[in-house]
Chains A and B, each alone.
Chain A
Amino acid sequence: MTDPVPAIELKNICKAYGALRVIDDVSLTIERGVFITLLGPSGCGKSTLLRSIVGLAEPDSGTILVDGKDITNAAAHNRPVKMVFQDYALFPHMTVAQNIGFGCEMQGMEKSAIARRSTELLELIRLPDIANRYPDALSGGQRQRVALARALAPDPAALLLDEPLGALDLKLRQDMQRELKAIQRRTGKTFVFVTHDQQEAMSMSDLVAVMNKGKIEQLDSPENIYANPATLFIADFVGATNLFEATVEAKDGDHLTLSVGDAHWRVPAARVTSHRKPDVGEAVSVVIRPEAFDIGASRRKGDIQLSGRLTDQTYLGDRVHLNVETADEKSLLVDARPPISIGEGAEIRLHCRADNLAIIAGR
């Protein structure tokens, strides 16, 4: 189904500012028509990577291909990939129509064709009546959509969006997430979206590339990123996490026995989600998501059993967030379904399926 020639191919991109390696040997293949998100904390190099692709930053080494063509050394104004900036960067002395038409104008398109294209895009962003307004006279959400239309107008090989929703308030942000996704579907364009908001990344993307310190640590579907984190950083960064320090005691067939404090957990070896598989005696981390826990003792064989004292509960309507302190003073987050008939301060038992966790080599 996907085109054999990828929209964007990055090969071994490196970029350093002084001693700081902002992009550290990044290779990434982005197929056509995909909505991919670069997710990572502030300063991990997301913007620098996008700016490298459009030529606004110059990588120290590596190759960039767009539609199979090497554009590593092409001038920034000649690259077929367009970008949407966080502050929109609309031209305030031009009308909305002129803003949207600017890219086509630069391509030498005829006036009448530019006008037609502008109208077409204004319809796509569902703002057909604002053509002659100036950016000053638009709301934040409207500016955002005009910036999107401006970048789409010259029919780019791919669209790069650098935290385009960062400046919007929560409600508008959620509307725009849906809108962006719909526009991506309708146009079939390749979208490379950048955010440090993991929920945004999860809800919008076909693929998520999690970045940390200039490296892509995992490229996967949102479901896999959440359920099968490849690194401790990802487990911690994406979603809420309970982390247990453990040691591999034994390996038998397709199971591992882990010693966790005083307890021994027998877990499927297939639940090792890190690239490196741990040996016997090696330290590992066990990731259990808050919603993986069920309340009460389990009669199912092989389940992991825990107990502690309920210290705090937050009622959220359809869910209850519990804080449980175990005997060894570990604080657990538990996401349960109401009603919970246990009072704060009381003893509480928890269990979790042995395959509903992730094991990552190292600590």
Chain B
Amino acid sequence: MISVAVGLPIAFAVARTSGVMRGLLIALILLPAFLPVVVSAISLRIFIGRIGLETGTAAIAFGHAVGSVPFVVIMVLTRLNTMGRNMADAARNLGADDVIILVRIVLPYLSPALLGAFMFCLLLSFEDFVRSFFLGGFEQTFPVLLFARLRFGFDPGLAAISTLVLIATTGFGLYAERFVRKRSLRSETSLTSGAKND
């Protein structure tokens, strides 16, 4: 029962990825993992119960989306804030219409943030078993009680597993960071050569 609850969110996370990330994630699946970050999961569970959504895959998807969207928004917004409101105006003044501004100015500018946000969400989804666990199919008992029981039941292995997860996610995070850096550099150079060639 636990393995089902654990497998589902990972499958979900993998489904949201593609290419290189998929391979990485599949490797990470082999590590059974838990992180005792439960509060948001419990409240989400209550919320989902209230709005009458069945627990299961749909609830997991919902929970993860709810969990990730704010991060994406924050990361993109942070980047947008550094953009300065005059940059799009300057492009327009130089003769760029809305489409050109989006393609030539805004998207290239946001690309590191978009990529970063995407990877960050993968990380988040992967790490966030607790939320998935709650949303995935426990009986609708008293969530607090559940929480206590859960922690009790897994106590012996918990510390070791969390450490493993920590190492794995940190490694993944560092890799993602480097990947994003390389990508943003590459997108700059490709813009350069694009401008020169076509």
Contacts and interface: CB of A to CB of B under 8 A. Distances in A.
A170 to B, nearest CB: 24
Nearest to B108: A93
B93 A56 contact: yes
Interface in A44-90: 51, 54, 56, 75-79, 82-83, 85-87, 89-90
A contact residues, range: 20 to 34
A87 B86 contact: yes
A93 B95 contact: no
Contacts of B87: 89, 91
Contacts of B109: 91-93
Contacts of B93: 54, 56, 76-77, 79, 82-83, 151
Nearest to B184: A93
Contacts of A91: 87, 90-91, 105, 109
Contacts of A83: 89-90, 93
Contact of B92 (A56, A90, A101, A154): A56
Contacts of B188: 93, 134
Contacts of B96: 77, 102, 106
B185 to A, nearest CB: 10
A196 to B, nearest CB: 18
Given A93-B188, A93-B191, A102 B94 contact: yes
Contacts, number: 71
A356 interface: no
B95 A103 contact: yes
A150 B87 CA distance: 13
B157 interface: no
A87 to B, nearest CB: 5
A124 interface: no
A103 B89 CA distance: 13
Contacts of B18: none
Interface string A111-143: 100000000000000000000001000000000
A85 B108 contact: no
B104 to A, nearest CB: 8
15 contacts: A56-B92, A56-B93, A75-B97, A77-B92, A83-B89, A85-B86, A87-B84, A90-B90, A93-B108, A94-B191, A98-B192, A102-B94, A105-B195, A150-B90, A150-B94
Given A102-B91, A103-B94, 9 more contacts: A77-B96, A89-B84, A89-B90, A93-B188, A93-B191, A94-B192, A98-B195, A106-B100, A107-B95
